[in-house]
Amino acid sequence: MSKLADVPAMSRSRRPLLIFLMTASLLLAYPELGLAGSWKFEFDARDDPSLTYSQDGKIIFLLSCGHAFALHAKYPGTPKTSGSASIEISNASARMTLRGEFEEPTADDQTTFVQWDLGFARQDPELYGKRWDKVSSRLLDLIAKADPLTIASGHQRYEIPRVDVPGWRRPIEKCGRGP
């Protein structure tokens, strides 16, 4: 005779409820466990690279290189519809403040912050020069070593898990270098 047959019917009927309550408790204690997010690295039709993190089908972090080097992120606080903004990106050992501007989210994303060309002006002779290389390397190191990557503004923050797609860094490092 099976051991399940020895368990009273009332105990067996409570098992699904117990499993549900344990799962719900874990998700409340560790909300990042319930996130349905994923990293993706791809090239567009012009062979320009982009690294995205999506959650529930919406992009919340995007690093891309095309006509410009762009970083888009979901603003961690209450976003405005326009104007200047700044966020701090950090991992366990490094942090970096990025100054950009608010942007309106689209149907495909939840990003409400954008920074172009790592804050360099398009006419700046340092754009894609030695100083730009240092800033770019620092940002890419921070992202590559993050586990998790924290996006913050003031006391508001959220975390994104470690980048788990291979081969993303080198193509993005080549941004502005031509073919």
Note the pLDDT tens digit of each residue in 46-100.
Answer: 999 999 999 999 999 999 998 899 999 999 999 999 999 999 999 999 999 999 9
pLDDT score, position 105 = 87
Number of C-beta neighbours around residue 139 at 10 A: 20
Give dist(CA 60, CA 57) in Å, integer.
Answer: 9
DSSP state of 163: P
Structural contact between residues 86 and 154, judged by C-beta atoms closer than 8 angstroms: no
Which amino acid appears at position 166 of this protein? P
Structural contact between residues 24 and 152, judged by C-beta atoms closer than 8 angstroms: no
Which residues share a beta bridge with 158?
A: 151
Structure confidence at residue 29 as a pLDDT band (50, 70, 90): very low
* Helical spans, DSSP H, in 36-176: 130-145, 169-173
Structure confidence at residue 143 as a pLDDT band (50, 70, 90): very high
What pTM does this model have? Answer: 0.78
Helix (H, G, I), strand (E, B) or coil at 37: strand
Structural contact between residues 113 and 73, judged by C-beta atoms closer than 8 angstroms: yes
Give dist(CA 73, CA 86) in Å, integer.
Answer: 11
Indicate whether 129 pLDDT > 90.
yes
